Amino acid sequence: MLPWHQYLLGILFIVAGFFHLQKPKIYEKIMPPYIPSHKSMVLISGIVEMILGFMILNPVTQKLSAWGIIILLVLFLPIHVYMLQEKEASLKLPKWVLILRFPLQFLLVYWAFQYV
């Protein structure tokens, strides 16, 4: 039996990945211009998030998944920077919310690291 917080992390990533597939336009909007193929990248990242979410729920694959989640979260940092810099990419979120996302991202990294 896995700890409840591991199930929560898995569900969080499965749901986040699902939203990439459900609402791709929102995610395409926040992609920096230097990242190619926005539509494909949004779909791929959504699928990867869902796969990692399921994998963290399996003791056999949890370590690999945890490292994958950590790498994914680090790769997403430039998107958070871009959202903070570009008004059109901010999704009309208040600046304090955009700033708060940085420590939250590192907390998620720490959370995933618990399952390595």
Rounded average pLDDT over 57-65:
98
Beta strands (DSSP E) in 1-116 are none
Q: For residue range 21-60, what is the model confidence (pLDDT) as tens digits?
A: 999 999 999 999 999 999 999 999 999 999 999 999 999 9
Q: What is the structure's pLDDT at 17?
A: 98
User: Which amino acid would we find at residue 11?
Assistant: I
- Residues of the chain with pLDDT > 90: what percent? 100
**Sign, Cα dihedral of 27, 114, 8, 48:** positive
pTM: 0.94
Cβ–Cβ < 8 Å for 91, 30: yes
- H and E: helices and strands count for the chain: 5, 0
Distance CA 85, CA 63 (A): 34
